[in-house]
């Protein structure tokens, strides 16, 4: 056995770590870009931050836990269990390339995994560090950001109460997974600083302390934190992945209690949360949260909840903290071998009665001042077959989601997903797979497959058939839709790749200015070529989009984007990118991913005619200091003004400068 094991290692192909890290980044960026194209605002800062931490502090596969490996979104549940089983059966790995001997692991997955894992000898079991160890070996980080716009919006003439600069500063401390603590202050552009309603300085403050591995106490969170259990029908304030061009990353995985370290001012809880191991296979989580929410008032009632976190104008400032939200609940999870069963329950109430505006499409939206949700989630795996799901009840309605996965081969996987979210299901904190952004008024079937039948090629296909039993925004009747995705990836060489993806969507929409609803048809196509040579990386992307409503003339849009990236190992790197876009209207808009600041994601949309240029520069002065700057310039050829309302810019171009400084000590 040992001879075969080391013989296999001897014949393994060497994979460059930098190349693997780029592949991991591209997978995440593709997923994020797809979500942005769907119009979903997803805060990925915490997830990207965790992945960045793992590149500097990789997981030791010889002592890795299931929870640690579940942080990596490109690993399937079966692959995670096979890694753990391999180490248990064969003992410590001697080299990272031994991963190719693990069942169900293919070359592509290993490439994605390499930046975040390592192999090291198993040392004596660690205990919670002493106070002296925390002081001497804990890692401190200060990260500050400044955004400078070289233009003036209309709002600064009469409405906005503060300067146009965006600024944030964050301090965080970490000693592995044993202790994490941090505080963040943020001021959005247009918000006052040490003035008016922000006499305390920043408009938003966030803080957290998270402890782990305290015997039976697995996690204890104080301050701001996030929660996710089951399949997200009841609780999910963490990131989510939906219909993307990767089957593995389309699977949702709950991660319990986590810190809230991002600048998101809405999607978090505030108070205390803890997870205790009652038995080796049984965990109990409990949480309590008490915080304020922004909202609009009318006759003492809350008509809407504001999630933007912006307080630039007096009207926005008047919405600040208009209601108090109190929440308590828990989760009980039993997991052993191929079985997992969980129970989740929450109760939450507001000190004001929520009464949404009387819009017909919002007839069944959340209403009242006290609510509850109960759910049971489950998972069963038999060999290469896996069944995962959750069923939930609320004060009104119910929801269920089931996913069946068959791993025929490491390079051939199938997934069938069914969801039913009743039109009157209420879940304020639910977020999961779906066409819409809420867990409500939707049912459908999604079938997807991913395979690599021949060398150098990988294919993905997915079809989603869904229906909305009640009205939705801009759809004044029950409606149906179809969403089909296809992607082909060709890798003729290790440093050269071609990707083609296509998406077809059929849905219904009200006709502007007419009392009727008609089908709409959208075609999106993208062709991308990427080449790497030494320190250089080149990427060319061509996008096409066509939108048409039945009986009306179609609108079309296209864009060409060229990116050039150079990286001098761990010293410095720069990226230049330019795009030319030409679209007929907003419906035919195009998207272009850009390299952003540390742990951020930026994928702006463009419509009309013009070009976009960006320059990104990062300099790691030494192991303590990192400086990052990004300059962006957008020029429109078909207009003299950009935007509308308070965001109006009286010019056909705009320039932004973003600066970031990190200090580690």
Question: What is d(CA 221, CA 256) in angstroms, rounded to the nearest whole number?
Answer: 11
Question: Quick check: is 645 in a domain?
Answer: yes
Contact 485, 501 (CB under 8 A): yes
Contact 324, 271 (CB under 8 A): no
Nearest to 39 by CA among 620, 522, 630: 522
Find residue 273's DSSP bridge partners.
Answer: 221, 287
Three-state SS annotation for 380-443: EEECCEEEEEEEEEECCCEEEEEEEEEEEECCEEEEEEEEEECCCCCCCCCCCCCCCCCCCCEE
- Segment-wise mean pLDDT, segments of 10 residues, the chain, 665 residues: 38 37 53 57 66 83 86 81 88 86 83 86 74 91 97 94 96 94 96 92 96 93 96 85 66 83 92 96 97 92 92 95 96 93 97 84 89 97 92 96 90 93 95 90 96 92 96 92 95 92 96 91 96 94 97 96 91 95 96 86 90 96 94 97 95 97 96
Give the end of a domain, one of 94, 122, 150: 122
Helical axes 45-56 vs 17-37, angle rounded to 10°: 180
Question: How many CB atoms neighbour CB 585 within 10 A?
Answer: 12
Contact 520, 512 (CB under 8 A): no
Contact 468, 444 (CB under 8 A): no
C-alpha torsion sign, points 149, 154, 157, 163: negative
Question: What is d(CA 502, CA 20) in angstroms, rounded to the nearest whole number?
Answer: 25
Question: What is d(CA 426, CA 355) in angstroms, rounded to the nearest whole number?
Answer: 14
What is the per-residue DSSP string for 292-357?
EEEEEEETTEEEEEE-S----SHHHHHTTT-EEEEEEEEEEEEEETTEEEEEEEEEEEEEEEE---
Nearest to 594 by CA among 646, 650, 541: 541
Q: Per-residue b/e over 501-517, b at no fewer than 16 CB within 10 Å? A: bbbebebbbbeeeeeeb
What does the chain come to in residues?
Answer: 665
Contact 599, 48 (CB under 8 A): yes
Question: What is d(CA 203, CA 325) in angstroms, rounded to the nearest whole number?
Answer: 20
Give the end of a domain, one of 69, 96, 122: 122
pLDDT at 113: 85
Contact 84, 99 (CB under 8 A): no
Nearest to 187 by CA among 173, 177, 200, 176: 200
Question: Quick check: is 247 in a domain?
Answer: no
Question: What is d(CA 413, CA 404) in angstroms, rounded to the nearest whole number?
Answer: 11
Task: At 69, give phi and psi (nearest 5°).
Answer: -70, -25
pLDDT at 10: 34
Question: What is d(CA 90, CA 6) in angstroms, rounded to the nearest whole number?
Answer: 12
Question: How many CB atoms neighbour CB 364 within 10 A?
Answer: 19
Task: At 470, give phi and psi (nearest 5°).
Answer: -125, 170
Question: Quick check: is 16 in a domain?
Answer: yes
Question: Based on the structure, what is the number of domains in the chain?
Answer: 2
H helices then E strands: how many in the chain? 9, 30
Contact 253, 238 (CB under 8 A): no
Question: What is d(CA 467, CA 434) in angstroms, rounded to the nearest whole number?
Answer: 11
Question: What is d(CA 338, CA 277) in angstroms, rounded to the nearest whole number?
Answer: 19
253 contacts: CB under 8 Å, gap ≥ 6:
70, 73, 77
Question: What is d(CA 566, CA 534) in angstroms, rounded to the nearest whole number?
Answer: 9
CA torsion 240-243-245-249 (nearest 10°) is 30
Question: Quick check: is 25 in a domain?
Answer: yes
DSSP 8-state symbol, 472:
B
Residue-wise pLDDT tens digits, 122-142: 766 567 888 889 989 999 999
pLDDT at 15: 33
- How far is residue 531 CA from its own chain's centroid? 27
Question: Quick check: is 266 in a domain?
Answer: no
Question: What is d(CA 480, CA 458) in angstroms, rounded to the nearest whole number?
Answer: 31
Question: Quick check: is 2 in a domain?
Answer: yes
Nearest to 38 by CA among 235, 236, 244: 244
Question: How many CA atoms lie less than 13 Å away from 494 in the CB half-sphere?
Answer: 12
Question: What is d(CA 176, CA 57) in angstroms, rounded to the nearest whole number?
Answer: 8
Question: Quick check: is 90 in a domain?
Answer: yes
The range of the structural domain enclosing residue 600 comes to 533-665
pLDDT at 54: 83
Relative to beta strand 269-279, strand 217-228 is: antiparallel
Question: How many CB atoms neighbour CB 435 within 10 A?
Answer: 20
Give the end of a domain, one of 72, 89, 122: 122
Question: Quick check: is 8 in a domain?
Answer: yes
DSSP 8-state symbol, 645:
G
Question: What is d(CA 77, CA 66) in angstroms, rounded to the nearest whole number?
Answer: 9
Question: How many angstroms separate the Cα of 445 from the Cα of each of 129, 260, 390, 659?
Answer: 49, 33, 15, 45
Nearest to 214 by CA among 123, 330, 129, 335: 129
Give the DSSP H/E element, type plus range, for residue 520.
strand 517-533
Question: How many CB atoms neighbour CB 2 within 10 A?
Answer: 8
Question: How many CB atoms neighbour CB 399 within 10 A?
Answer: 28
Question: What is d(CA 489, CA 502) in angstroms, rounded to the nearest whole number?
Answer: 12
pLDDT at 11: 34
pLDDT at 5: 41
């Amino acid at each position: 056995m040992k001879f075969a094991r080391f013989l296999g290692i001897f014949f393994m192909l060497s994979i460059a770590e930098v190349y693997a890290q780029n592949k991991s980044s591209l997978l995440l960026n593709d997923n994020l870009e797809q979500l942005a194209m769907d119009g979903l605002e997803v805060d990925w800062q915490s997830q990207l931050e965790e992945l960045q931490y793992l590149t500097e502090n990789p997981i030791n596969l010889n002592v890795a836990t299931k929870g640690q490996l579940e942080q990596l979104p490109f690993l399937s549940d079966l692959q995670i269990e096979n890694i753990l089983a391999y180490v248990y059966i064969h003992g410590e790995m001697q080299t990272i390339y031994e991963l190719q001997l693990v069942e169900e692991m293919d070359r592509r997955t290993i490439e994605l995994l390499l930046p975040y894992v390592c192999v090291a000898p198993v040392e004596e079991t660690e205990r919670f560090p002493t106070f002296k160890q925390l002081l001497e070996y804990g890692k401190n980080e200060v990260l500050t950001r400044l955004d400078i716009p070289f233009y003036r919006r209309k709002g600064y003439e009469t409405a906005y109460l503060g300067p146009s600069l965006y600024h944030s500063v964050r301090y965080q401390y970490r000693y592995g997974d044993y202790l994490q603590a941090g505080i963040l202050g943020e001021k959005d552009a247009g918000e006052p600083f040490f003035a008016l309603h922000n006499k305390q300085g920043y408009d938003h403050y966030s803080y957290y302390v998270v402890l782990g591995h305290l015997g039976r106490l697995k996690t204890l969170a104080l301050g701001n934190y996030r929660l996710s259990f089951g399949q997200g029908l009841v609780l999910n304030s963490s990131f989510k992945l939906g219909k993307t061009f990767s089957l593995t990353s389309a699977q949702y995985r709950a991660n319990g209690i986590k810190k809230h370290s991002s600048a998101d001012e809405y999607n978090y809880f505030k108070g205390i949360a803890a997870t205790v191991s009652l038995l080796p296979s049984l965990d109990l989580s409990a949480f309590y949260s008490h915080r304020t929410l922004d909202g609009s008032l009318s006759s003492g009632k809350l008509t809407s909840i504001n999630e933007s976190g912006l307080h630039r104008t007096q009207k926005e400032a008047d919405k600040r903290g208009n209601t108090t939200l109190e929440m308590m609940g828990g989760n009980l999870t039993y997991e052993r071998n191929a079985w997992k069963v969980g129970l989740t329950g929450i109760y939450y109430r507001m000190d004001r009665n929520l009464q949404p505006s009387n819009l017909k499409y919002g007839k069944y939206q959340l209403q009242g001042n006290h609510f509850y949700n109960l759910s049971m989630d489950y998972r069963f795996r038999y060999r290469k077959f896996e069944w995962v799901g959750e069923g939930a009840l609320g004060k009104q309605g119910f929801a269920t989601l089931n996913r069946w996965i068959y791993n025929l081969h490491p390079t051939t996987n199938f997934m069938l997903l069914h969801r039913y979210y009743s039109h009157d299901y209420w879940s304020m904190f639910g977020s999961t797979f779906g066409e819409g952004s809420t867990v409500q008024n939707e049912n459908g079937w999604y079938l997807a497959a991913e395979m690599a039948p021949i060398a150098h090629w990988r294919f993905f296909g997915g079809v989603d058939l869904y229906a909305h039993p009640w009205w939705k925004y801009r759809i004044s009747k029950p409606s149906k839709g179809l969403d089909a995705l296809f992607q082909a990836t060709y890798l003729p060489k290790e440093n050269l790749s071609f990707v083609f993806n296509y998406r077809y969507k059929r849905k219904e929409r009200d006709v502007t200015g007419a009392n009727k609803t008609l089908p709409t048809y959208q075609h999106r196509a993208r062709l991308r070529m990427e080449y790497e040579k030494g320190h250089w990386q080149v990427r060319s992307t061509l996008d096409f989009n066509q939108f048409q409503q039945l009986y009306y003339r179609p609108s079309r849009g296209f864009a060409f984007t060229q990116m050039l990236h150079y990286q001098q190992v761990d010293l410095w790197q720069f990226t230049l990118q330019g795009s030319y876009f030409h679209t007929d209207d907003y419906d035919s808009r195009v998207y272009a991913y850009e390299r952003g600041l540390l742990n951020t994601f930026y994928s702006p949309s463009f419509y009309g005619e013009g070009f976009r240029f960006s320059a990104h520069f990062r300099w790691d002065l030494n192991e303590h200091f990192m400086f990052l700057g990004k300059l962006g310039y957008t020029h429109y050829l078909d207009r003299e003004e950009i935007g509308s309302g308070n965001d109006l810019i009286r010019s056909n171009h705009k320039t932004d400068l973003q600066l970031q400084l990190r200090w580690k000590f």
